[in-house]
């Protein structure tokens, strides 16, 4: 058995350390949730990018198509006009333009075929990405919901522990309790009250002083002179 004051403080400390651990876990959740949201946004953006890539090709194809129509219409008009021109030079010039337009139409038609192929590919890629990312987004959503539920559980558990936290600590004076609370709030993450084994402090791992050993053996409230943590011995009568 440890000294009475140490036993009482250990009981409190067990609850407090559990609360501290749960609060630390809870504090990590917002970052994890933000990361999930970012992952979801990236997946959605990828689908949108694939869709607009396909759309861009389709728009270009439509542009090529309307250019072909324009050139064909111009040739039709030139052919009608050429039947009525009387000057040979003018007639030759018209035939030249018609031939040139036909050449352009031929090139544009190859371009259109190429764009149609590319559009098919882009559409297939889009469908694949959409399917993959839909699964990913669903998995992310499920994970997010789990985190929300987990946060709720943690909050509930913390609230319950705080409620159960012994309010009245017999055998521990107010000053000791106040120091205990300050150590608990400290950033080192070490328990306020640590055991001494083989005369070594469980917090700073240095040898405790003779005076401290004597105090502990007497069952008095004792602190490590080096790290200021409360220290106790397991085997005090
Ligand atoms: Zn120490």
pLDDT tens digits along 42-68: 999 999 999 999 999 999 999 999 999
Query: Is 3 within the bounds of a domain?
Result: no
CA–centroid distance, 19 to ligand 1, in Å, is 23
Query: Is 5 within the bounds of a domain?
Result: no
Please determine, for residue 1, whether its predicted confidence score (pLDDT) is greater than 90.
Answer: no
Residue ranges making up the domain that contains 106: 26-164
pLDDT for the residue numbered 47? 97
56 and 142 share one domain: yes
CA–centroid distance, 179 to ligand 1, in Å, is 15
CA–centroid distance, 223 to ligand 1, in Å, is 8
Residue at which a domain ends, from 107, 129, 164: 164
CA–centroid distance, 24 to ligand 1, in Å, is 24
Contact (Cβ atoms closer than 8 angstroms) between residue 193 and residue 9: yes
148 and 179 share one domain: no
119 and 155 share one domain: yes
Torsion of CA 106, 110, 115, 118, to 10 degrees: 180
CA–centroid distance, 193 to ligand 1, in Å, is 10
Cα 87 off chain centre by: 77
Please determine, for residue 237, whether its predicted confidence score (pLDDT) is greater than 60.
Answer: no
Query: Is 18 within the bounds of a domain?
Result: no
Q: What is the mean pLDDT of the chain?
A: 95
Please determine, for residue 161, whether its predicted confidence score (pLDDT) is greater than 90.
Answer: yes
Query: Is 135 within the bounds of a domain?
Result: yes
CA–centroid distance, 202 to ligand 1, in Å, is 7
159 and 184 share one domain: no
Residue bearing tokens 């929300």 = 148
How far is it, in rounded angstroms, from Cα 120 to Cα 104? 24
CA–centroid distance, 201 to ligand 1, in Å, is 5
Contact (Cβ atoms closer than 8 angstroms) between residue 177 and residue 13: no
CA–centroid distance, 225 to ligand 1, in Å, is 7
pLDDT for the residue numbered 171? 81
How does pLDDT run across 91-107, given as a tens digit for each residue? 999 999 999 999 999 99
Residue at which a domain ends, from 141, 164, 187: 164
99 and 67 share one domain: yes
Residue at which a domain ends, from 144, 164, 184: 164
How does pLDDT run across 117-141, given as a tens digit for each residue? 999 999 999 999 999 999 999 999 9
CA–centroid distance, 15 to ligand 1, in Å, is 22
CA–centroid distance, 92 to ligand 1, in Å, is 107
How does pLDDT run across 175-223, given as a tens digit for each residue? 999 999 999 998 888 999 999 999 999 999 999 999 999 999 999 999 9
CA–centroid distance, 224 to ligand 1, in Å, is 5
CA–centroid distance, 23 to ligand 1, in Å, is 26
CB atoms within 10 A of CB 203: 22
CA distances from 151 to 16, 19, 146 (A): 19, 14, 9
CATH code of 103's domain: 1.10.287.1490
CA–centroid distance, 229 to ligand 1, in Å, is 6
CA–centroid distance, 233 to ligand 1, in Å, is 13
């Amino acid at each position: 058995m440890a000294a009475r004051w140490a036993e009482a403080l250990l009981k409190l400390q067990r609850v407090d350390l559990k609360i501290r651990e749960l609060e630390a876990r809870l504090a990590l959740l917002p970052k994890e949730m933000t990361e999930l949201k970012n992952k979801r946004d990236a997946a959605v953006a990828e689908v949108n990018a694939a869709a607009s890539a396909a759309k861009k090709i389709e728009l270009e194809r439509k542009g090529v198509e309307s250019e072909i129509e324009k050139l064909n219409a111009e040739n039709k008009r030139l052919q009608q006009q050429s039947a009525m021109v009387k000057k040979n030079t003018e007639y030759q010039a018209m035939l030249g333009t018609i031939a040139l337009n036909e050449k352009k139409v031929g090139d544009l038609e190859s371009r259109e075929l190429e764009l149609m192929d590319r559009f098919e590919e882009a559409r297939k890629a889009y469908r694949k990405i959409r399917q993959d990312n839909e699964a990913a987004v669903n998995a992310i959503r499920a994970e997010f919901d789990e985190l929300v539920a987990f946060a709720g559980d943690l909050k509930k558990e913390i609230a319950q522990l705080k409620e159960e936290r012994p309010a009245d600590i017999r055998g521990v004076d107010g000053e000791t309790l106040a120091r205990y609370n300050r150590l608990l709030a400290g950033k080192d993450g070490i328990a306020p009250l640590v055991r001494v084994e083989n005369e070594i402090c469980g917090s700073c791992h240095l040898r405790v002083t003779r005076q401290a050993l004597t105090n502990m053996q007497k069952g008095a409230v004792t602190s490590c002179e080096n790290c200021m943590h409360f220290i106790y011995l397991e085997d005090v009568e």
